[in-house]
Amino acid sequence: MYIQTEGIIISHKDFQEADKLLTIYTKTHGKISCIAKGARRPRSKKAGHIELGTWCKLLVARGKNIDLLCEVETKRAFGLDNLTFTKSSQIYHLLELVDYLTEQHQANERVFSLLANFLKKVNSNENFKLLASVFKIKLLSNLGFFSSHNLKNSDLKKFFETLESQGFDKLQDTIKLEDKNYLKLSAFLDSMIENLAQRKLKTARFIYG
């Protein structure tokens, strides 16, 4: 059985001598994991298509124990390697959140669209802190882990309702997020995510020290 779909690389790590173990959030099958055979070899045709954050078309063979990446082609590369260390670390942090909060083979096209739209805006958006905060809130909301309707404080409720309901572009004109408030908001959201995932975020130290 094969899966033919498109997805975004949210995690990869070395596997055996020359392979890569990939975690991909796909449009039609949710999160999947698969092996890219020979991807670490110098002449590998797959290597350039499986960098973190790459949006790709893929063909995956289902296996008894683990799936195998048969074909992969870049649909859109977002140039994350060309960003500053701080911004690229923050993006990898957000990819980690998607990995931690989602289960294998549970499709959620809203999460895929959120991730794709976020990556499209990374290079052109100057207000990255607001963009990242909105991404976290919308991710939690789309997965059913958070709703502003449950908040009792009226000011907080109104603030989070705005972040949940409006798009990235409109929010830039309506909300100003100072550095200290961004750090507080991010720490609050990451604490919630760690409680939900029941594990510590590996990339948080790059964001908060």
Helix (H/G/I), strand (E/B), else coil: 197:
helix
The Cα 16–Cα 7 span in angstroms is 24
Name the amino acid, one letter, at 141.
Answer: S
Most confident residue range from 4-13, 90-99, 199-208: 4-13
CA atoms within 13 A on the CB side of 63: 12
User: Which pLDDT does position 62 carry in this prediction?
Assistant: 94
The Cα 137–Cα 148 span in angstroms is 10
pLDDT of residue 205 exceeding 50: no
Helix (H/G/I), strand (E/B), else coil: 67:
strand
Q: Which residue did the predictor score with more confidence, 72 or 131?
A: 72
DSSP 21: E
For 18-55, how does the pLDDT look when each residue is reduced to its tens digit (9 = 90+)? 999 999 999 999 999 999 999 999 899 999 999 999 99
User: Which pLDDT does position 110 carry in this prediction?
Assistant: 95
Distance of CA 69 to the CA centre of its chain: 20
Q: Is the pTM for the entire model greater than 0.85? A: yes
Q: Which of 173, 172, 175, 163 is nearest to 139 (CA)?
A: 163
pLDDT of residue 71 exceeding 50: yes
User: Which pLDDT does position 208 carry in this prediction?
Assistant: 47
Over residues 194-198, the mean pLDDT reads 81
Q: Which of 34, 39, 38 is nearest to 3 (CA)?
A: 34
Q: List Cβ<8 Å contacts ≥24 apart for 105-110.
A: 105/29, 105/30, 105/31, 105/32, 106/30, 106/31, 107/26, 107/28, 107/29, 107/30, 108/30, 108/142, 108/143, 109/27, 109/28, 110/142
Q: Which domains does the chain have, with CATH numbers?
A: 2-76 (2.40.50.140), 80-208 (1.20.1440.120)
For 90-143, how does the pLDDT look when each residue is reduced to its tens digit (9 = 90+)? 788 889 999 999 999 999 999 999 999 999 888 776 677 788 888 988 899 899
Tell me the torsion sign for CA atoms 168, 170, 174, 176: positive
